[in-house]
Amino acid sequence: MSAPSPAGGPVGIAVVGCGTISTEYLRNLTSFPDLLVLFCADLEIERAKAQAAAFGVPGAGTTAEALAEPEVEIVVNLTVPAAHTAVSGAAIAAGKSVWVEKPLALDSASARGLMAAAAAAGVRIGCAPDTVLGAGLQTVRRLIDSGRIGPPQTGLALLQGPGPERWHPDPEFLFQRGAGPLFDMGPYYLTALAMIFGPATRVAAVSRRAQATRVIARGPRAGTEFQVEVPTHISALIEYEGGQAATIVLSFDSPLSRYGFVEISGSTATLAMPDPNQFDGDIRVHDLSAKGWAAVPARGPTDGRGLGVLDLARGLRSGAPHRASGEIALHVLEILEAIDRSAATGAFEPVLTSFTRPAPLPEAWEPHARTLA
């Protein structure tokens, strides 16, 4: 993919955005010997200082100060979605590679701009979800590649529940542009399907919004009514390059909760994946002539968020492509936009970008080993 980095040793990291999800990242990134977390940055400097102190990170301050650190090679962008493009763009302009939480950008046009800027600067973009690198989904990938279910032909994915306003104290953003069940939860399910089936070519969808307003159920603002701006139930069909088909339902309109349902049917067996929003979990296989499911243990890393940053860092040193790539994230963002468009137009909508399906992680891949001398 690119020339190996001339630098050796652990890869220098700056974390930008020290909010909720930064704790899981910092716990893991500071535990991987191939990474050296050098700086924590946030608009709120006190937050950056507190996380730096909690995880023994030597530097803390503004994003500009993080980008001025010569030893920082990867900026881990954990800001809110609305700031993703600006922060990633500034990091690329400073010659840094970027790991960014989902979504890569608020729209695919901005995402394409970032990809072009990174290519011109000779740096890389990696993007969440890196749950696809966890033990659960990597074991699924190896099983399917080994022919355990025959050639995979169809997929069925389902996430349904009554909606996050029942538990989230500030849920408004989850019902605004850039979120809803499609954009907030869709990336986990559609990236997992993409890792099995490869690029999608066209989609069709219908969507609904059961309620124009909702009411916060928990926390200090309980009882507050707010507007629902996006569809809250999406049913979509996805066709893939090889002709395989998947059906997905993403809904905040169901009194019954069912999460993490992804089944792949091949010619000889159906495989039930673990929850694509988790790093491990149960895998089950139902053979054609069997009377029930057989459990398959997941093998591989279960550390959590940060595995994608490590794979990116090791790729920078070796020149090998990283697996949770900006290319895949852009493709998945285009699928989400095409689903949204199809629900509005009533027509099949094409998905134009493509990506190369990454190699599975070797079974012996060990995040806690020091591999970079």
Q: Using the rule CB under 6 A, is 296 a contact of ligand NAD?
A: no
Interatomic CA distance for residues 103 and 146, integer angstroms: 31
Q: How far is the CB of 201 from ligand NAD (least distance, A)?
A: 27
Residue 270 vs 325, nearer CB to ligand NAD: 325
Interatomic CA distance for residues 216 and 339, integer angstroms: 28
Tracing tokens 């190996």 back to the chain, one arrives at 4
Interatomic CA distance for residues 44 and 55, integer angstroms: 17
Q: Using the rule CB under 6 A, is 320 a contact of ligand NAD?
A: no
Interatomic CA distance for residues 318 and 229, integer angstroms: 45
Sign of the Cα torsion 230, 236, 239, 244 reads positive
User: Could you give the strand order of the β-sheet that contains 59-61, starting from the edge strand earlier in sequence?
Assistant: 59-61, 35-41, 11-16, 72-77, 97-100, 125-127
Q: Which of 8, 33, 44, 93 binds ligand NAD (CB under 6 A)?
A: 44
Residue 44 vs 241, nearer CB to ligand NAD: 44
Q: Using the rule CB under 6 A, is 47 a contact of ligand NAD?
A: yes
Residue 187 vs 266, nearer CB to ligand NAD: 187
Which of 151, 172, 177, 135 lies closest to 298, judged by CA? 135
Q: How far is the CB of 245 from ligand NAD (least distance, A)?
A: 28
Q: Which of the stretches 11-19, 109-117, 244-252, 293-301 binds ligand NAD when contact is defined by CB under 6 A? A: 11-19
Q: How far is the CB of 292 from ligand NAD (least distance, A)?
A: 34
User: Which residues is 13 bridged to in the sheet?
Assistant: 37, 74
Whether residue 112 contacts residue 330, with contact meaning beta carbons closer than 8 Å, is answered with yes
Q: Using the rule CB under 6 A, is 102 a contact of ligand NAD?
A: yes
Q: Using the rule CB under 6 A, is 136 a contact of ligand NAD?
A: no
CA 182 from centre of chain: 13
Q: How far is the CB of 347 from ligand NAD (least distance, A)?
A: 30
Which of 167, 166, 177, 182 lies closest to 228, judged by CA? 177
Binding mask of the shown chain, residues 59 to 88, with x at each position contacting ligand NAD by CB under 6 A: ----x--------------xxxx-x---x-
Q: Which of 2, 30, 31, 43 binds ligand NAD (CB under 6 A)?
A: 43
How many residues sit close enough to ligand NAD to count as binding (CB under 6 A)? 20
Plot region of 193 (φ>0 → left; ψ -120 to 50 → alpha; else → beta): alpha
Residue 105 vs 195, nearer CB to ligand NAD: 105
Count of alpha carbons within 13 angstroms of residue 365, beta-carbon side: 20
Q: Which of 14, 18, 250, 361 binds ligand NAD (CB under 6 A)?
A: 18
Q: How far is the CB of 195 from ligand NAD (least distance, A)?
A: 18
Q: How far is the CB of 316 from ligand NAD (least distance, A)?
A: 22
Residue 152 vs 308, nearer CB to ligand NAD: 308
Q: Which of 35, 37, 42, 149 binds ligand NAD (CB under 6 A)?
A: 42
Which of 73, 37, 34 lies closest to 53, judged by CA? 37
b/e sequence 59-84, b meaning 16+ C-beta within 10 Å: bbbebeebbebeebbbbbbbbebebb
> What is the number of the residue whose Cβ is closest to ligand NAD?
19
Residue 87 vs 194, nearer CB to ligand NAD: 87
Residues that bind ligand NAD (CB under 6 A): 16-22, 42-44, 47, 63, 78-81, 83, 87, 101-102
